[in-house]
């Protein structure tokens, strides 16, 4: 006679759950979220921004240039010279032609240096140049 119960018990004792497809799915989801997440660019220097009542929040933060109160210039978290701004901005614009240039200048930085940076950005082909400010409630 055929022993049906015995054969069912022997199969169930060796049953294993294969979790490798689940691990594959988790890694695919992780990669998907890492690729689609937009990261916030920082300038690499702490800057005390001036405030303005008409300041607006920009959704397209493309190319960021920071000027510290001592006059140091930072591009992509690296200290740079004013003479290299034109080529750096031109290279960034080649990657993203619609990028906005944002100059983040400290309140105590010299206006002349900020104007020179804006001029170098214009000469590199940038059309959309802004100066960062914090919004304050007007009085």
In a domain, 127, yes or no: yes
Q: Are residues 30 and 72 in the same domain?
A: no
Domain count within the chain: 2
3-state secondary structure of 33: helix
In a domain, 129, yes or no: yes
In a domain, 42, yes or no: no
Q: Which tens digit of pLDDT belongs to each residue from 13-49?
A: 666 788 888 999 999 999 888 877 765 555 555 555 5
Q: Are residues 55 and 28 in the same domain?
A: no
In a domain, 18, yes or no: yes
Average pLDDT over residues 78-91: 91
Task: Give the pLDDT of residue 26.
Answer: 93
Question: CATH code at 102?
Answer: 3.30.420.270
In a domain, 22, yes or no: yes
Whether the predicted pLDDT of 52 surpasses 60: no
Q: Are residues 19 and 55 in the same domain?
A: no
Question: What are the contacts of 107-115 at 24+ separation with CB within 8 A?
Answer: 107/48, 107/49, 107/50, 107/69, 108/48, 108/69, 109/67, 109/68, 109/69, 109/71, 110/71, 113/67, 113/71, 113/73, 113/82, 114/67
Q: Beta strands 129-131 and 134-135: pairing type?
A: unpaired
Residue 58 is part of which domain span?
A: 51-135
């Amino acid at each position: 006679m055929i022993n049906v119960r015995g054969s069912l018990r022997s199969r169930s004792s060796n049953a294993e759950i294969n979790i490798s497809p689940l691990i594959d799915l988790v890694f695919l989801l992780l990669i998907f979220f890492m690729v689609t997440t937009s990261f916030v660019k920082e300038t690499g220097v702490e800057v005390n921004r001036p405030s303005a009542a008409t300041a607006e929040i920009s959704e397209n933060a493309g190319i960021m240039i920071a000027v510290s109160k001592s006059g140091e210039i930072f591009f992509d978290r690296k200290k740079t010279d004013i003479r290299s701004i034109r080529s750096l901005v031109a290279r960034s614009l080649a990657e993203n032609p619609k990028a906005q240039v944002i100059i983040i200048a400290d309140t105590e930085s010299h206006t002349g240096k900020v104007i020179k940076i804006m001029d170098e950005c214009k000469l590199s082909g940038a059309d959309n140049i802004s100066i960062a400010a914090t919004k304050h409630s007007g009085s």
